[in-house]
Amino acid sequence: MILIPVTETEQINYLFKRLNQIDNKIQSSRKNRKYKHSLMRQYEFCNNELNDLLPLQHAI
């Protein structure tokens, strides 16, 4: 496997795009519960990765 270095911004953009793709699939897969559960796990993983990359926003 070849690892390509990417910037944090590229990672964030990819994760936002991936979350959107997964969300669209979740919305369109209403009948298949196993598939939807798998998508939800993928969504949760991507969301956690994104939260780790984004700086914390503090309310003033």
Task: Kindly list the averaged pLDDT for each block of 10 residues, start to end, along the chain of length 60.
Answer: 76 91 88 87 93 65
Amino acid type, 19: L
Q: What is the pLDDT of residue 30?
A: 75
What is the domain partition of the chain in residue ranges? 6-53
Q: What is the pLDDT of residue 58?
A: 46
Tokens 């270095």 sit at which residue?
Answer: 5
CA distance 41 to 34: 11
Q: Global pTM?
A: 0.71
Whether the CA torsion 19, 21, 24, 25 is positive or negative: it is negative
**49 in Cβ contact with 10 (< 8 Å):** no
Q: What is the pLDDT of residue 60?
A: 41
- Candidates 53, 45, 41, 40; CA nearest to 13 is 53
